[in-house]
Chains A and B, each alone.
Chain A
Amino acid sequence: MKITREEVEHVAKLAKLNMSEEELARMTGQLDTILLYVAKLDELDTAGVPPTTHAFSISNAFREDEVQKSLSVDEALSNGPHVNEDAFIVPKII
């Protein structure tokens, strides 16, 4: 076993996903199969091989600090599921 039901439950919690017992069982089986497959990478000795994060690396895409056109407050709020005046409303936190 590469992953247990408890570990999947923990990862789901980190990812903010609720899982029913049925989903947990099914996902554990499927994730286990996938992780067993990717373990194939262990066949390769990668000591000293630098990781690639972007195939074509570009450094420092900075621009001058000038004010440019951006979304208006109304546009930015236009898709909010619950808004009030200039703010997004969420359930009470404290």
Chain B
Amino acid sequence: MNPYELTIGQARTALDDGKLSSRELTTSCLERIKDVDGSIHSFIRVTEEEALKQADAADKELATGKSAPLCGIPFSLKDLLCTQGMTTTCGSKILENFIPPYDATVVEKLKNQGAVIVGKVAMDEFAMGSTSENCAFTVPENPWKNGYVAGGSSGGSASSVAAMECLGSLGSDTGGSIRQPASLCGVVGMKPTYGRVSRYGLVAFASSLDQIGPLTRDVRDSAMVMNAIAGYDRRDSTSVKQDLPDFTASLTEGMKGVRVGIPREYFGDGLDPEVAKVVEGGIQALKSCGAEIVDVSLPHTEYCVAVYYLISSAEASSNLARYDGVVYGYRDQDADSLSDMYRETRSSGFGDEVKRRILIGTYALSSGYYDAYYKKASQVRTLILSDFQKAYKSCDLLISPVTPTPAWKRGAHANDPLAMYLSDILTISANLAGIPGISVPGGFSSDGLPIGIQLQGPHFREDTLFRAAYNVERATHLGNKCPEIG
């Protein structure tokens, strides 16, 4: 077995037992990247030299016998997490040369544990998209099938973990951007509760929805990374002071006493029968572990896409106003006046999807339309949130598909943004309600594409999701499966 094939948990044991060094493990991942990234295209930038230095430092730490749980483990990072001295592009030409003078809190936490950063991975520009095709630099392939999308916007995170180019990755999820690519690539993706993980140093897309979380090859690894990154941070005033459990302690066999809700609106028209079958398998698995299955309703589900695109675009239009060519990023150097410089910089620095959302957001917030669009959407958001609160009176978690279909061919929605937006219908509500959600591999389609199962829970109950995901994983035996890449 090659070291890069290990899960984080397995590598931890091998490192602690002295059977493996971080340098060997890191070198193995870097070799793997050299072998397969020419066909997978996960990485915008591989940071080999820095990674080997970090690995050597980790080996010194390991020798003391007192290393942290992620010490010596190679990670990739979605390229919207600020890394001190390391270019952070956000998948955009406008930040092509941006070198942050500080680390994001989550990056600092990984580094403090002695984790190794092997590089920055592909994403849709400013996290806007569902396929990572809106990346200005590279577009990741689905490691399970050539010519198919890896999902998005954390597509490079998912493809790098699935293709075994690293052992784990951090992504961000504004409307499904961790869970959806995890599902499409056959890995575990956790979106924590809003406020659970600090977003200091995360390049903002939609501030009331964005959340950082791990993509890993099994559920235990996901819990291990959550242990490392969760917690209050004074530098992010939206992070919440809450007790932090040891998430790995929730990985117990059996579901006795747990009520699992099936939201009927998530199983409507347009759901691929193969996806439905995989989710049914997950329901049966939890039932046979002792869970009680109940039917629940989230009646406003059909409105979530409309609410999401108004709110996220409105917030994005405001957040992205900062890219004006003055203090960082790309600047059009030929402009004669300040206002020309703003316009030329933004017009040639942003891609189409970003411009589209800035326009929708600016329109929704503009005088005369604010009440009809932004305020209306914020009111319906209240109804969506209260749907979940009602549902959680009769169940402890919800089980559903992550996406209506497995991965699709690249370029399929190129000229139809709305069709693309609608594919996010099953993941968006969790962001609007701020609740946690996890995508765990559940099976494969007849043509070999992974299909995930989504579990959603009440605020700050990631522990329940980890327990259920662990039981699904044990039943399906899909943890840490490797695609053949060639």
Contacts and interface: CB of A to CB of B under 8 A. Distances in A.
A91 to B, nearest CB: 5
Interface residues of B, number: 71
5 contacts: A16-B324, A19-B347, A27-B355, A80-B328, A92-B337
A11 B378 contact: no
Given A37-B418, A40-B306, A58 B335 contact: no
Given A58-B237, A79-B97, 8 more contacts: A11-B366, A15-B317, A15-B358, A17-B347, A46-B376, A52-B381, A56-B195, A75-B102
Interface stretch (B170-178, B219-227, B338-346): B338-346
Interface string B361-374: 01100100000010
Contact of A11 (B98, B208, B237, B362): B362
Contact of A46 (B340, B366, B383, B417): B383
- A-B residue pairs, 9 tightest by C-beta: A55-B434, A51-B378, A61-B237, A79-B328, A81-B331, A46-B379, A75-B101, A38-B306, A18-B347
Contact of A16 (B101, B307, B342, B421): B342
B176 to A, nearest CB: 15
A18 B342 CA distance: 10
A3 B363 CA distance: 10
Contacts of A54: 194, 208, 238, 434
Contacts of B346: 15-17
Interface string A13-56: 01111110000000100110111011011101010011111111
B418 A34 contact: yes
A30 B417 CA distance: 7
B234 interface: yes
A12 B385 contact: no
Contacts of A31: 356, 359-360, 363
Contacts of A93: 337-338
B99 interface: yes
Contacts of B310: 38
Interface of B: 97-99, 101-102, 193-195, 208, 234, 237-238, 240, 300, 302-303, 305-307, 309-310, 317, 324-331, 333, 335-344, 346-347, 350, 355-356, 358-360, 362-363, 366, 373, 375-383, 385, 417-418, 421, 432-435, 459
A82 B237 CA distance: 32
A79 B99 contact: yes
Nearest to B234: A63
Interface residue range, chain A:
35 or more
Nearest to A70: B102
A55 to B, nearest CB: 3
Interface string A64-94: 0000000100011011111000001011110
Contacts of A53: 208, 378
A81 B344 CA distance: 14
A76 B100 CA distance: 9
Nearest to A34: B418
Contact of B362 (A14, A49, A80): A14
Query: Which of B97, B358, B435 has most chain A Cβ within 10 Å?
Result: B358
Given A17-B347, A44-B380, A90-B326, A58 B195 contact: yes
Nearest to A49: B379
A58 B98 contact: no
B208 A55 contact: yes
B238 A58 contact: yes
Nearest to A50: B382
Contacts of A49: 379-380, 382-383
B217 to A, nearest CB: 30
A93 B309 CA distance: 36
Nearest to B432: A55
A38 B330 contact: no
A34 B347 CA distance: 22
A75 B433 CA distance: 38
Contacts of A58: 195, 237-238, 240
A43 B459 CA distance: 29
Nearest to A54: B208
A76 B326 CA distance: 12
A10 to B, nearest CB: 8
